[in-house]
Structure 1
Amino acid sequence: MTYDIAIVGAGIAGASLAAALGDRARVLLLEAEDMPGRHATGRSAAFWSETYGGPLIQPLTSASRNGLSPWLQPLGSLHIGRTEDAPAIERFLADFAGSAVTLERVDPAAHLAGLRPDWTLGVLEPSCAYIDVAGIHADALARARRSGATIVTDAGLRSATRQGGRWTIETEAGRFDAAVLVNAAGAWADVVAVRSGVRPIGIAAFRRTMVQLRTDPPAAVGIPMIADIAGRFYFKPEPGGRVWLSPHDEVPSAPCDAVPEEIDVAVAIDRFEAAVGWRVAAVERRWAGLRSFAPDRLPVYGMAEAGFFWCAGQGGFGIQTAPAAAAMAAALLLDEVPALPGVDPGRYAPGRFG
């Protein structure tokens, strides 16, 4: 069978795009693993924050809210700082001053019992929410299937060759044919480009560490996510009084099945204990995932060469921007005008790299 569009990568980016295309194109979704979502999508910190990723990502995040609403639960985020972090607090507030994001200066101690006294600066972001990543991903895959998309797993890309306006795609699962090839391969995006004879952009992967802690006292019900304004850590409460904690690390990595390093776990706990007077009773889980960025740290959506479309470089914000990004990418692929208020597709186009 021949296809209009073949998407390499069935994580949240590829799955959401396949769902957004619906039955307007014959879609093939190729996944290198035995099931979609094994890497970045399945290892998310699972929160939705309009400020995460900065003001150039915020329009995509805000535009995704309605599409994600069935999978969002109230959380809130408290951005905290010490006296020396005052300039960072002011920059943060200035960055979003002209947006629709609600931010409020607060006394952080009033929102987090046990906060150490040197953390005197606080900004509350009420709209931040828990996000059901597995639910969103499963729904996108299900919608893609209902629209007629073919999903093939264990189909790592070996090569892709374009001739006569079509791609011959060689994979571990066999050969396929498509008019357009979409690169939604996450940390492997540049690898896919090279194997397709397309100039890579320079998308680089970075390891991010997460740990689940049991603390004494347990994390209270109703506390918000806590984010260091200087980017040294963030943590959020989980059911059962647990805490999910990250040292906000970005360790350069080759594309791989990422695993946490003991030093990064230790750094995370040290930074956590410097912020709150809670005892870490146990480290119950630890994991790591890869975040991939283009050189300017903005995602890449658009046609770079004839028939080769980029849908990559989503960093750590691919899930929270998935509905809007997929709608924009689908419109571009179908030669339509994206209708997303406040979102400029040209900002994310691959042509910005020359």
Structure 2
Amino acid sequence: MSSADVIIIGGGIAGTSAGAEIAADASVLLLEAEPHLGYHSTGRSAAIFIRNYGNATLRALNALAVPVLENPAGIADETLLSPRGELLLASEAEMGALESYAAGAEGLDRLTAAEAVALVPILREDRITAAIYENDAQGIDVDRMLQGYARLLRSRGGRVVTDAPVTGLTRSGGLWQVTAGSDVHTAPIVINAAGAWAGQMGQLAGAVPITLTPKRRSAALLPAPDGYETERWPLFGSVAETWYAKPDAGRLMVSPADADAVEPHDAWPDDMVLAEGLHRYECAVTVPVTRVERSWAGLRTFAPDATPVVGLDRRAEGFFWLAGQGGYGVQTAPALSQIAAGLLRGEPSVGPDLLRALSPERFEGTVHP
């Protein structure tokens, strides 16, 4: 049996970054079910930082994350961001979605169809009614970010145990007993950063029931179109999120932008969903899809209001939620890790309105399908 001040369940970017921040003034044990950190959603991220992505709460978290991503002292030697840009396209039927996305957003430029094609020459101009462009959208070096946080965690005395799936959570005498494999670990605080499995961890702990829904997101890697230099292209796609594409090391990553609810598992793409998404992409460009070099899928886990769940549970003493990041987990991790550490220290790093928007208390007394 081992003990710590804080046990974190889940070694994706959420758990690893929170562990690094908390380890500055507490002993931390991180338990990861898989053989290495970042195995699931973190390792399958689209690796893009978009300031205007998500609802108002998420946009506030994005803004809080910027200073760390730009100047990741203690995590990396230089910025974790690189120039990319995001181009969102709308047909006549999608103009409502474009206006909705633009509402409350900052740093967007309205483009004509011709201007959009100038940025991405393979686009079909006749399919574009209008477009918006966010020049400040940037690529994220996700692996360097994850490994940097892991190094910081260990340098502060934190311990990482892999191949340690949690199967039991009980509390006695002011301590949680966490069963992982054949081992039992104890701590007064347990942080639930289990991603797609966070709902199951909440049930094991007897916490407030929160419906967290894993949703599959698939992607395929295509050869770059012949005769085009793609690396300077922005991420581009439908503003209605029916497909998107992103340059990736001389190739194009294309996603059907699927969001099908599934059970927690090691995700893989559905062939029909992927084919339909590639067809939507193909209809928007002048270059046919001739070959898929590789495909994969990951799970993005959402709370009912599509806002992360962060804070102590009032039903299960010492049980801390760090879950429901949806498709925003990597880009909000610097902000959420600092918020989590501040709450556990009793020194909140953000104002009460944002804390209320994130708190698990918002689900008390509610029933979700």
TM-score bracket, shorter-length normalisation: over 0.9
Of 95, 106, 109, the match for 1:104: 109
Corresponding residue number in structure 2 for 1:337: 348
Q: CA RMSD in A?
A: 1.5
Of 122, 128, 144, the match for 1:135: 144
User: 1:1-354, aligned counterparts within 5 Å?
Assistant: 1-69=2-70, 70-96=79-105, 101-107=106-112, 108-116=116-124, 117-217=126-226, 218=228, 220-240=230-250, 242-305=251-314, 306-339=317-350, 344-354=354-364
1:189 to partner: Cα distance: 0.4
1:114 to partner: Cα distance: 2.3
Q: Identity percentage over the alignment?
A: 37
User: 1:275-298 CA deviation, whole Å, 9 max, x = no partner?
Assistant: 111122321110000010111111
User: 1:112-149 CA deviation, whole Å, 9 max, x = no partner?
Assistant: 21211221311110111111111111011110000001
CA distance in 2, matches of 1:203, 1:333: 23
User: 1:54-90 CA deviation, whole Å, 9 max, x = no partner?
Assistant: 3331111121112112211100001111122222222
1:339 to partner: Cα distance: 4.0
1:343 to partner: Cα distance: 7.4
Name the SS for the 1:124 alignment partner.
strand
TM-score by length of 1: 0.95
CA distance in 2, matches of 1:245, 1:295: 27
1:23 to partner: Cα distance: 2.7
CA distance in 2, matches of 1:133, 1:45: 9
Letter in 1 for 2:361: G
Letter in 2 for 1:225: L
Letter in 2 for 1:51: N
CA distance in 2, matches of 1:80, 1:343: 33
User: 1:192-240 CA deviation, whole Å, 9 max, x = no partner?
Assistant: 1122232431111111101101143345331111021111011111222
Contact 2:243 2:255 in 1 (8 A): yes
1:104 to partner: Cα distance: 0.8
Contact 1:154 1:173 in 2 (8 A): no
Contact 1:219 1:237 in 2 (8 A): no
Letter in 2 for 1:288: A
CA distance in 1, matches of 2:130, 2:339: 37
Letter in 2 for 1:35: H
Name the SS for the 2:38 alignment partner.
coil
CA distance in 2, matches of 1:200, 1:152: 28
CA distance in 2, matches of 1:132, 1:61: 16
1:173 to partner: Cα distance: 4.7
Name the SS for the 1:113 alignment partner.
coil
Name the SS for the 2:312 alignment partner.
strand
1:344 to partner: Cα distance: 1.3
Divergent runs of 4+, >6 A: none
CA distance in 2, matches of 1:6, 1:336: 20
CA distance in 2, matches of 1:173, 1:328: 33
User: Mean alpha-carbon deviation: is it higher for 200-209 or for 63-72?
Assistant: 63-72
Letter in 2 for 1:46: A
CA distance in 2, matches of 1:216, 1:80: 20
Of Structure 1 and Structure 2, which has the larger fraction of its residues in strand? 1
CA distance in 2, matches of 1:37, 1:247: 23
Contact 1:259 1:287 in 2 (8 A): yes
CA distance 1:173–1:44, change in 2 (3 Å)? farther
Q: Give structure 1 stretches of 5+ with no counterpart.
A: none
CA distance in 1, matches of 2:270, 2:301: 19
CA distance in 1, matches of 2:169, 2:95: 51
CA distance in 2, matches of 1:52, 1:67: 18
Letter in 2 for 1:72: L
User: Mean alpha-carbon deviation: is it higher for 274-283 or for 73-82?
Assistant: 274-283
Contact 1:300 1:311 in 2 (8 A): yes
TM-score by length of 2: 0.91
User: Mean alpha-carbon deviation: is it higher for 193-202 or for 280-289?
Assistant: 193-202
Contact 1:213 1:283 in 2 (8 A): yes
Q: Give structure 2 stretches of 5+ with no counterpart.
A: 71-78, 365-369
Name the SS for the 2:5 alignment partner.
strand
CA distance in 2, matches of 1:173, 1:79: 50
Contact 1:232 1:271 in 2 (8 A): yes
CA distance in 2, matches of 1:189, 1:78: 33
User: 1:226-270 CA deviation, whole Å, 9 max, x = no partner?
Assistant: 021111011111222x11111110111110000111112211210
Letter in 2 for 1:314: Q
CA distance in 2, matches of 1:281, 1:45: 22
